[in-house]
Structure 1
Amino acid sequence: MNPTDTSPRAQVIARLLHPRSIAVVGASADLAKINGRPLKHLIDKGFGGRILPVNPKYREIAGLACFADIASLPDGVDMAVVAVPAREVVASVEALGARGVPAAVVFSSGFGEMGEAGRALEQRLADTARRAGVLLCGPNCLGFINAFENVYATFSQYADGETGPGPIAFVTQSGAFGTAIAALVRQRGLGLGYFINTGNEADLQFAELMLAVVEDPRIRVAAGYLEGLTDGDGLVRLAQRCRELGKPLVLTKVGRMASGARAAASHTGALAVEDAVFDAVIRQHGVLRARNEEQMLDMLEALAQPRVCEGFGLGIATQSGGAGVMMADRAEEVGLAVPELSAATQQRLAAVMPAFGAAGNPVDVTGQFVARPELLRESVVTLLDDPQVHMGIVWLQLMTAHVDKLVGIFEEIQARTTKPFFVCWVAAPAAALQRLRALGIVVYGAGERAVEAAAALARHHAGRRRPPQALERSAPAAAPAGAADHQGMLPSVQAAAWLQAAGVPMAPVVLAHDADAAVAAWRYFGAPVALKVESPDIAHKTEVGGVLLRLDDEAAVRAGVATLRANAARHAPQARIDGVLVQPMAAGHVELVVGVQRDPVFGMVVMVGSGGVLVEVLKDVAFRRAPFGVDEGLAMLAELRMGAVLDGVRGQPAVDRRAIAQLLADLSRWAAATPRLAELDLNPVRIGADGPVAVDCVMVLRDPPA
């Protein structure tokens, strides 16, 4: 439990996870059944508290006194396991509340996962639990294990084997797949301190339970498996707390390629698919994402070891030059550097290397180290001593006849170094893996996997060194007249004025109702102008031929007004036309799109990307949850593939990245303080010598959901 959270709910979660007495409602004398297995595990694993079976069929089970009903339970029961048919669960939870039992794990299925009727029953269960004052884990869950205190409130197969406590807390929404991951963790000898399956999450959700267990000082790493998410704020709070504690959080979430695209007026809305936003928000808050269960385990193995990585420099020592090149390539792809070694390091290497080896980085020690073990030992120690190398990987293969010698070498390297290093041993003998892991040495079976795990370790420690971003919200700029209750697309002139007042640089714009007014606006600006059709029914003007550029005489402006009206009549005959927007042509040789979307899980999300008409085709975009600061804006720009364009290409000057990042940060704070904003597109935002300026705006207002 978070020591700063003394709320009644937090105290009940603590009693759930650290109980001194457990009732098993629906307990069976057949310890192989689902409702008998938790009794078996609690007894066999040595739970030190009271175990209280409840079932009117028995007077005792496995030597334990059995209670006829919940009302007969003694005072002070901390939590209950509910293992009865779905139709009996609501009454059981109601009885638990009446008896003063504050929390329950509900194994029973037959709820939301079963369709409309099941969802109605689940809602009834949640309402009953709330009225009765009982916190629920589940229903339709495997329960949980607190291995530190031998609490086995579960029927999971994982509990059948050795479940000694370890430094990892694992919370999963999936029972079967979560059990498989837990078994793989055990296979690698890592150890779970907590295993929790949240099931249908009728009450307690993933983030709330993980928040409770990461507070345990025995936990060094948190891992989670997600299939869906509704509590974005809870996940962000979890990530922030993990960062405060210095504990990495690794998540695997399925559904990466699901489109999730919403019908949206803005490019931002069309591009802000569920997974893209999830990925960006967790990265923003220092969470590591694994593609699958094997990569999650690779990351956990790297992150559970205690050594700190002080940078992104990777040193590679190999038995094969080809393997070294492959790993160096992958290192560059995942954001690591494979630095050139200092002259002093190269001299030290040359003194021990065979003449046909390579003393650069990667270091190729060749197969000679079998005859001369000091080659590998001294090469790796020297490599890790280089100031530009922050961690190392040693690659070798087979060597079945030399396990003792190699394990001894790695043990010596471990004793003589302080930087993290991993062993990549391809086709390693099982005894070698077991002995290295017993020494606390991280070992992988493939080079790219080792590199990806090293990158995760480097990113985690880099995130710990970065000061937290200020998350203040600006006072919202005063809404223009009519915006307070406006629904849908706000007129462009009003939207631009609102954004300008909020500090977002906007190009001047005038609404002309006829050709005479458009000519007057052109004369007022005294420069070439753009004309754009203005309609509450046309979000993307270029798609209906609704934009004309660089008009600089009266005849061209008058003809342009007629052309825009004709194009709109042809391509969008039902659209209401309010007039024509007149703007002076904005300077700038780089175009970006900047936008905001109200995400149903995370709230206001800001996007930046390659601008222009092909934004949805190129999809070169980055997202962040609002609000955020300038440094986060700079990080967004660094993610874009068009980064080289910002730095100047083909004779064009570089643009001021910080000015763009300031626009993003200012916009994020304003958006976070403007709850009626649903969508916003600034496309394009032109960037030139004077910084960024937005020249087109689509703003959609809607009342936020209750």
Structure 2
Amino acid sequence: MTYANPDRRETISRLLNPKSIAVIGASSDFGKVNGRPLKHLIEKGYAGRILPVNPKYEEIAGLVCYPSIEALPEAADLAIIALPAAHVCDCVEKLGRKGIRTAVIFSSGFGEMGDEGKVLEKRLAETAKAARVILLGPNCLGFVNAFDNVYATFSQYADGETGAGPIAFVTQSGAFGTAIAALVRQRGLGLGYFLNTGNQADLSFAELMMAIVEDPRIKVAAGYLEGITDGDALVRLARKCQELGKPLILTKVGRMSSGARAAASHTGALAVSDAVFDAVVRQYGVLRARNEEQMLDMLEVFCQPRRACGSGLGIATQSGGAGVMMADRAEEVGLTVPELGAATQARLAAVMPAFGAAGNPVDVTGQFVARPELLTESVVSLLDDPDIDVAIVWLQLMTAHVEPLLGIFREIQQRTVKPFLVCWVAAPDAAIKGLRAADIPVYTAGERAVEAAAALARYGMQRKTSEDAVSPSGSPACPGTTGSGMQPTVEASSWLREAGIPMAHARLAESEDHAVALWRDSARPVALKIESPDIPHKTEIDGVILNIDDEAGIRSGYRALIERARTAMPDARLSGVLVQEMAEGHVELVIGVQRDPVFGMIVMVGFGGILVEVLKDVTFRRAPFDRSEAYSMLDDLRMSRILDGVRGKPAVDREAISLLLFRLSHWAAAMEPRLSELDLNPVLVGEAGPSVVDCVMILEE
């Protein structure tokens, strides 16, 4: 919950780098939660004024202790509140009267405690809004700004060495976030900022990260999420990171929690929360880590300054088996292991022993111990190849050769400009420390190194997404006065057709005679389909009859569909039977739109038909998007090669499909206030392009 404040951004900046800090409820016992921030601030050399507040003490650790907020000699830039939950609202109100505009609330006993706590948390948020106090928390560990020695925290992380580094880390979990911070420290990477959001009664993950990612000392941002409620804020953050050229790496739990609900459309059933989250963050250039270790692997590769411009991976190894394993994993994660150019192979052959391999992977064997130039020249040649964008060097043990090898890697670094990673299995500690000191990422397992290289490649190839892309000509058709619920197929198809969506022509027959007349008028074979606002999936009641081209078939088909509907769903309202010209196409897609509660209008495309919810070969994007993004959706599908023609079938026009998706995304964005779900299934695609055969549209007032 945030409130409108014209100087909010400046106030948040003051929170993160305060010139004075009041500790409300301070204790002289530095082992307690309310004593630890004082300990950290004093021991870590905070340069600003520290103002303890507690009527029990006259001084703490040589600092004057004030009996109340009112007695403070100044309005501190930041207040740390370490009081029982019942006293926090009153405290925030007093802070506002004193002119203190920011507070970190350690106190628990709020929304995390159930309904009663949620009521208290709502009261806290309302009190802060009235008092014009910006809150971090409650129920949080606070934060560390290591650049400026601000330790507004009781976290164990602050007990150890917390030298500032290029990483900004914001976490929604206190304990797990502390564990991740400790792992960062173990790797010697360095956190410039460590922030725990707590219950987010005011400041949210995205707003906090937005405030610190602009710091020029920060090179990469990382976050741990347990949930997200403001998709727009996360998208704005992702765009800002793209604009600044700073990777944003997120780990979000709940990947396998479907969150699925009963939905009238296939899109609604498939657009589960995590699948949508994953697709949207990728759309806006965010890198997602499966767990804390993968996050650390990604952070390590992005803490070094070099970036990859493509997906070509070069591998140099002293073990042929390790090279094959890494090449296999590279293909699985979207990297290519290209054949080296003739010039590169000639360079390698000039230094390679007869029993080595000058392909890719390059097997330099253990001979480089006797001939260090073998490893140096092999890796330099590999990185000079125009088809190689990033390289991995694999070796193991070499305990007696650490210093010479560190010298080799430093020389390689001096002679090249492309990124390279070292995978050193069973590496001595001195080797790991030496490589990291030289800004060379080092991993102890091959697959981890490959996955880090893949993250580097994905980031390098990401295109900045822009919602400012040119919209389709004309304004999307937006029904204004129709009621809620499933819309009549003829009307829904008409609106979509006006938006440029290729809808198969269909008309509603309210009697046998009318159906016959419509068939005669079409002068071609038709399909008959039951039409009812209560039957979204016609095939489930056998409510479709295809390819009829005679009067008897039309009449008997009409009667059969009405009878089937009445038998299967006696209470369904029957509007009649649709008479639709037969469409052609050898590829069947499903395309749809779902209004997601977090990210808004989400467009889906996948391989369709009756097996869509079994195959689940679908992908999502947040609307609106441009033609290039639409085209990339087709590449995401596991079976995308079907579009290029298989088993004698011709290829279909990907550009025509992407145009449909592009137009639909802009229409859906314009319809966000009213459109709940849209299901276009099947969409038949043939040599003439796509044709939408069936449509389920659900609107809300």
Supply the AA of the counterpart residue of 1:287.
V
CA contact (8 A) 1:537 1:576 kept: yes
- Displacement after TM superposition at 1:467 (Å): 6.6
Q: Which residue of 1 aligns with 2:567?
A: 570
Aligned to 1:361, what secondary structure does the other structure show? coil
Are 1:394 and 2:393 counterparts?
A: yes
Q: Which residue of 1 aligns with 2:552?
A: 555
- Displacement after TM superposition at 1:485 (Å): 4.7
Q: Which residue of 2 aligns with 1:33?
A: 32
Q: Which residue of 1 aligns with 2:416?
A: 417
Separation (CA, whole Å) in 1 of partners of 2:5 and 2:137: 24
Q: Which residue of 2 aligns with 1:325?
A: 324
CA contact (8 A) 1:106 1:141 kept: yes
Unaligned runs of 5+ in 1: none
Are 1:581 and 2:578 counterparts?
A: yes
CA contact (8 A) 2:28 2:35 kept: yes
Aligned to 2:462, what secondary structure does the other structure show? helix
Q: Which residue of 2 aligns with 1:691?
A: 689
Q: Which residue of 1 aligns with 2:537?
A: 540
TM-score, normalised with respect to structure 2: 0.98
Supply the AA of the counterpart residue of 1:639.
D
Separation (CA, whole Å) in 2 of partners of 1:7 and 1:281: 30
**Within-5 A mapping of 1:363-402:** 363-402=362-401
Supply the AA of the counterpart residue of 2:216.
P
Deviations 1:378-414 (A, max 9, x none): 1111111111111110001111122122112111111
Separation (CA, whole Å) in 2 of partners of 1:347 and 1:472: 49
Aligned to 1:72, what secondary structure does the other structure show? coil
Separation (CA, whole Å) in 2 of partners of 1:597 and 1:287: 22
CA contact (8 A) 1:473 1:672 kept: no
Q: Which residue of 1 aligns with 2:156?
A: 157
CA contact (8 A) 2:679 2:696 kept: yes
Supply the AA of the counterpart residue of 1:424.
C
Separation (CA, whole Å) in 2 of partners of 1:414 and 1:664: 45
Are 1:195 and 2:174 counterparts?
A: no
Separation (CA, whole Å) in 1 of partners of 2:75 and 2:661: 54
Separation (CA, whole Å) in 1 of partners of 2:257 and 2:470: 33
Are 1:672 and 2:676 counterparts?
A: no
Q: Which residue of 2 aligns with 1:103?
A: 102
Separation (CA, whole Å) in 2 of partners of 1:248 and 1:468: 17
- Displacement after TM superposition at 1:664 (Å): 0.5
Cα pair distance change 1:178/1:377, threshold 3 Å: same
**Within-5 A mapping of 1:410-449:** 410-449=409-448
CA contact (8 A) 1:22 1:81 kept: yes
- Displacement after TM superposition at 1:73 (Å): 1.6
Q: Which residue of 2 aligns with 1:615?
A: 612
Separation (CA, whole Å) in 1 of partners of 2:353 and 2:257: 53
Deviations 1:264-304 (A, max 9, x none): 11000000000000000000000000000000000010111
Identity among equivalent pairs (%): 70
Separation (CA, whole Å) in 2 of partners of 1:682 and 1:663: 11
**Within-5 A mapping of 1:330-341:** 330-341=329-340
Q: Which residue of 2 aligns with 1:633?
A: 630
Aligned to 1:67, what secondary structure does the other structure show? coil
Separation (CA, whole Å) in 2 of partners of 1:98 and 1:546: 69
Q: Which residue of 2 aligns with 1:526?
A: 523
Q: Which residue of 1 aligns with 2:182?
A: 183
**Within-5 A mapping of 1:49-60:** 49-60=48-59
Supply the AA of the counterpart residue of 1:685.
V
Q: Which residue of 1 aligns with 2:122?
A: 123
- Displacement after TM superposition at 1:170 (Å): 0.2
Supply the AA of the counterpart residue of 1:665.
F
Separation (CA, whole Å) in 1 of partners of 2:469 and 2:412: 44
Are 1:220 and 2:228 counterparts?
A: no
Aligned to 1:604, what secondary structure does the other structure show? strand
CA contact (8 A) 1:472 1:669 kept: no
Q: Which residue of 1 aligns with 2:302?
A: 303
- Displacement after TM superposition at 1:46 (Å): 0.6
CA contact (8 A) 2:284 2:465 kept: no
Separation (CA, whole Å) in 2 of partners of 1:651 and 1:390: 36
Supply the AA of the counterpart residue of 1:277.
V
- Displacement after TM superposition at 1:477 (Å): 3.4
CA contact (8 A) 2:303 2:439 kept: no
Supply the AA of the counterpart residue of 2:468.
A
**Within-5 A mapping of 1:264-283:** 264-283=263-282
Q: Which residue of 2 aligns with 1:235?
A: 234
**Within-5 A mapping of 1:338-357:** 338-357=337-356
Separation (CA, whole Å) in 2 of partners of 1:331 and 1:308: 18
CA contact (8 A) 1:317 1:395 kept: yes
Supply the AA of the counterpart residue of 1:622.
T
Deviations 1:531-551 (A, max 9, x none): 111111111110011111111
Aligned to 1:595, what secondary structure does the other structure show? strand
Cα pair distance change 1:147/1:600, threshold 3 Å: same
Are 1:663 and 2:622 counterparts?
A: no
Q: Which residue of 2 aligns with 1:210?
A: 209
- Displacement after TM superposition at 1:77 (Å): 1.2
CA contact (8 A) 2:235 2:281 kept: yes
Separation (CA, whole Å) in 2 of partners of 1:280 and 1:434: 37
Separation (CA, whole Å) in 1 of partners of 2:445 and 2:590: 40
- Displacement after TM superposition at 1:75 (Å): 2.7
TM-score, normalised with respect to structure 1: 0.97
Is 560-569 or 202-211 further displaced after alignment?
Answer: 560-569
Separation (CA, whole Å) in 1 of partners of 2:569 and 2:342: 69
Supply the AA of the counterpart residue of 2:132.
G
Q: CA RMSD in A?
A: 1.3
- Displacement after TM superposition at 1:308 (Å): 2.2
Separation (CA, whole Å) in 1 of partners of 2:126 and 2:548: 64
Deviations 1:466-515 (A, max 9, x none): 574535666653445xx525111011111011111111111111001111
Q: Which residue of 1 aligns with 2:598?
A: 601
- Displacement after TM superposition at 1:611 (Å): 1.1
**Within-5 A mapping of 1:411-490:** 411-463=410-462, 468=466, 470-471=468-469, 476-480=475-479, 484-490=481-487
Cα pair distance change 1:361/1:185, threshold 3 Å: same
CA contact (8 A) 1:535 1:575 kept: yes
Cα pair distance change 1:584/1:511, threshold 3 Å: same
Aligned to 2:199, what secondary structure does the other structure show? coil
Separation (CA, whole Å) in 1 of partners of 2:243 and 2:520: 58
Is 500-509 or 184-193 further displaced after alignment?
Answer: 500-509
Deviations 1:114-161 (A, max 9, x none): 000011110010011011100111000000011100000000100000
Supply the AA of the counterpart residue of 1:358.
A
Q: Which residue of 1 aligns with 2:639?
A: 642
Supply the AA of the counterpart residue of 1:494.
E
Supply the AA of the counterpart residue of 2:275.
A
Q: Which residue of 2 aligns with 1:249?
A: 248
Supply the AA of the counterpart residue of 1:182.
A
Supply the AA of the counterpart residue of 1:47.
Y
Cα pair distance change 1:131/1:595, threshold 3 Å: same
- Displacement after TM superposition at 1:644 (Å): 1.1
- Displacement after TM superposition at 1:626 (Å): 0.4
Deviations 1:160-216 (A, max 9, x none): 001010000000000000000000001001000000000100110000000000000
Aligned pair count?
696
Separation (CA, whole Å) in 1 of partners of 2:678 and 2:543: 19
Unaligned runs of 5+ in 2: none
